[in-house]
Amino acid sequence: MKLHKILLATLLAALAAVTSAQTDKAPMIAKTLSWAELDAMPYPARPGTNIPYGASAAKFGELRMPDAKRHGKGPYPVMILVHGGCWLAEYDYGYFTRLAAWITEQGWATWNIEYRRLGDGGGWPNTFMDVGEAADALVLIAKSDRIDLKRVYAAGHSAGGQLALWLASRARLPNDSELARTEPIKIRGVLGLAAITDLASYRVGAADSCNASVDQLLGGTPETVARRYAETSPLARLPLGVPQVFVQGELDPIVPAAGVRAYAEAASKAGDAVTLLPLPGAGHFEPAVPHPASEAALRQALQILLKAP
């Protein structure tokens, strides 16, 4: 009987060890940053300077300048920040102020822009015209603030990533395009943060998804307004002719990583200098804020852009 008990105990211990090992090897489901968690984060202690660039209430930007004691008197490189939110009016520039303040702490000026979106007068062509007008406003801002117009970059999150990439290609629009402008400001590089890179493919999705906003933004499908897609979709605009860095969550359910990888490969084949910085355990919102999962990649991205020829 004593031996029986010893054998039974040994068997139970072995089974427990096997179960523990299987549990240790089981894949862990990472918890990614949610919109609610991002939205609840504290705002920067100091606001930027709000500057209008047009008559509409939505046409303004928030300018932040580096601390001259820490970063010298400039002129500073400047990052245009284009927020996301499916091009919808219910999402504004506010959540992007956290990243703007962080980038400014790295020695950059930041121009965090607002623009008309779907629901407040945006869509075709107003959303694009506003973003272009906001970027061009830096020429006037540079007359009173020490920003370097030879080092102007654009960063965008999600739908804002599409707009930031579009800014870089704006100078090559046909002269008869509704969006064309004489001598638009030159964008030296783009930082894509969970960026939407192909409007024609991204538009396919559920009726209540971000994908469904694309047809509303452009006023039709690739079949009915083909030229609008050709003039605004980053993939259709390749090569952009500027360096591009993408910070992308591998677990992003809104802008899947596979699409960004496909764009990066296409851009590289077209001759663009492209760097993809994947975030293995991150989702859609980590790239939009200095977060433990993204801060190192964001810092690396800024360094890559500054060093790029």
Q: What is the pLDDT of residues 236-260, one digit of tens each?
A: 999 999 999 999 999 999 999 999 9
Residue carrying the six token digits 């764009």:
263
**Per-residue confidence band for 20, with pLDDT thresholds at 50, 70 and 90:** very low
What is the rounded CA–CA span in Å between residue 89 and residue 278? Answer: 29
Say what the pTM is. Answer: 0.90
Residue carrying the six token digits 């075709």:
124
Q: How many domains does the chain have?
A: 1
Percent over 90 (pLDDT), the chain: 90
Cα 269–Cα 177–Cα 196 angle in degrees, nearest 5: 45
CATH code for the domain in which residue 190 is found: 3.40.50.1820
Q: Please, is 206 exposed, middle or buried when counting C-beta atoms within 10 Å of its C-beta (0-12, 13-18, 19+)?
A: exposed
Residue carrying the six token digits 């433990």:
292
**Per-residue confidence band for 29, with pLDDT thresholds at 50, 70 and 90:** low
pLDDT above 50 for 131: yes
Q: ω before 280 within 30° of 0 (cis)?
A: no
The parent domain of residue 68 ranges over 35-307
Question: Going by C-beta distance under 8 Å and a sequence separation of 6 or more, which residues neighbour residue 227?
Answer: none
7 inside domain: no
Q: What is the pLDDT of residues 281-293, one digit of tens each?
A: 999 999 999 999 9
**Per-residue confidence band for 309, with pLDDT thresholds at 50, 70 and 90:** confident
261 inside domain: yes
27 inside domain: no
What is the tally of helices (H) and strands (E) in the chain? 13, 8
Q: What is the pLDDT of residues 196-236, one digit of tens each?
A: 999 999 999 999 999 999 999 999 999 999 999 999 999 99
Q: Please, is 149 exposed, middle or buried when counting C-beta atoms within 10 Å of its C-beta (0-12, 13-18, 19+)?
A: middle
